Amino acid sequence: MCHQYGGGLSLNRRSEGTVVGCDTSLGRSGYVCASRGPHYVHATQMCVTVLYCASASNRGTMSMLQIENMSIAVGDTPVIEDVSLTLPAQEMHWLMGPNGSGKSTFANALMGHPRYHIAQGTLTLGGLNLTEEPPHKRAGAGMFLSMQYPPALEGVTVTNLLKNAYNARFQTEISILEFRKLLKEHMELLEIPSDFTSRYVHAGFSGGEKKRLELLQLSMLQPKLAILDEPDSGLDIDGLRTMSMQLQRIQHVTGMAMLVITHYTHMLSYVEPDAVHVLKNGSLVHSGTSDVAHQIQNQGYEALQT
């Protein structure tokens, strides 16, 4: 797959640390620098910002998230029992279930919340075993959790949060000028107003603004796996449509795997998941295609054959 970008840059593929393109206007070879992350193609004295599209031919060929026989406990009390789940790269899976079924607990445990521990089983991301790793190691490996109720961070601007997160994610020290250019491009793609980044993180944010910040983080940080805890909550119809469309665009551009946690089916109007898993009372009781979500929408959870 080959895309043409401004400045005469031809990007043939994404491969960190190898030659992938050439700036024909300058006659210099470009390469994606691993220390700068996937957004940058360098050519000696220049830096061109690029976005890449994941090849559709690779869809579903690699298991990004692999959970095997996982049980989760709070202290000595089991809360999730014997869950196995495979989520391939570039796929969106939904984790559904009634209130109190353990969905948010499962999400927090995957990210390494200290209240929960994996009592048995394994968690791997792209072949890397993260079962015993702390949250920052899981984040560094490419995991991202969008919380249902994110806390406000008074005194921390959106710009500072994103710049530090970007540096940590890609193990770099991006200059403020480069970062502002990159940030502006992603904000324009998401139609986020320019004054958004000077505000304190989540302080006084509406539900829609919180979702916009989540989308901005996903777009810029490009995790391998995004765990989204009820991204449809607190949104009106227009907000739900926008959020659903942007999630699909970001996934198409980055190729990340997405695990969307919800107990409603509102998003079905705008996006069809590749698979649906149903959690009840801490156990995974059903897995199937998007037809499962449609069945829940029409008949409720009790209609499922377990």
Q: Which residues pair with 95 in a beta bridge?
A: 261, 277
Res. 283: pLDDT tops 90:
yes
- Among residues 224, 267, 275, which one has the least CA distance to residue 248? 267
Partners of 174 in the beta sheet?
none
pLDDT for res 210: 93
Alpha-carbon gap, residue 23 to 44, rounded angstroms: 11
Residue pair 159/199 in contact by the 8 Å Cβ criterion:
no
114, exposed or middle or buried, with CB in 10 Å at 0-12, 13-18, 19+?
A: exposed
Q: Are residues 34 and 115 in the same domain?
A: no
Identify whether residues 39 and 63 lie together within a single domain.
Answer: no
Residue 274 lies in a domain: yes
C-alpha dist (Å) from residue 100 to 76, 114, 230, 237, 262: 19, 20, 13, 25, 12
Q: What's the mean per-residue pLDDT of the chain?
A: 82
At 73 the pLDDT is: 97
Of 11, 27, 52, the residue at which a domain comes to its end is 52
Average pLDDT over residues 37-60: 36
Asked if the structure places residue 145 within a domain, the reply is yes
Q: How far from 217 is each of 2, 20, 30, 102, 233, CA to CA, in Å?
A: 26, 26, 26, 25, 18
Give yes or no for residue 43 having a pLDDT over 50.
no
Helix, strand, or coil here: 188?
helix
pLDDT band at 233 (very low <50, low <70, confident <90, very high): confident
Rounded CA separation 306/303 (Å): 9
Dist. CA 273–CA 279, nearest whole Å: 16
Structure tokens at 260: 């969307």
Q: Which residues of 147-168 are buried (b: 16+ CB within 10 A; e: fewer)?
A: bbeeeeeeeebbbebbbeebee
CATH code for the domain in which residue 262 is found: 3.40.50.300
Distance CA 113, CA 263 (A): 22
Whether the CB-CB separation of 284 and 85 falls below 8 Å is answered with yes
* Model confidence at 52: pLDDT above 80: no
pLDDT in tens, 116-163: 999 999 999 999 999 999 999 999 999 999 998 899 999 999 999 999
* CB of 15 closer than 8 Å to CB of 32: yes
Q: 224 and 277: one domain? A: yes
- 46 and 75, same domain (yes or no): no
- pLDDT tens sequence across 85-112: 999 999 999 999 999 999 999 999 999 9
Residue 281 has pLDDT above 90, yes or no: yes
As a whole number of angstroms, the distance between CA 25 and CA 39 comes to 20
13 and 129 both lie in a single domain: no
Strands 19-23 and 28-32 come out as: antiparallel
Question: Count of domains in the chain?
Answer: 2
The answer on 114 and 35 residing in a single domain is no
**CA-wise closest residue to 251 among 292, 279, 222:** 222
Assigned domain for 44 exists: yes
Does residue 96 form part of some domain?
yes
Q: In angstroms, rounded to a whole number, what is the distance separating the alpha carbons of residues 178 and 42?
A: 12
| Residue range(s) defining the domain that contains residue 22 | 3-52
Q: What is the pLDDT of residue 306?
A: 56
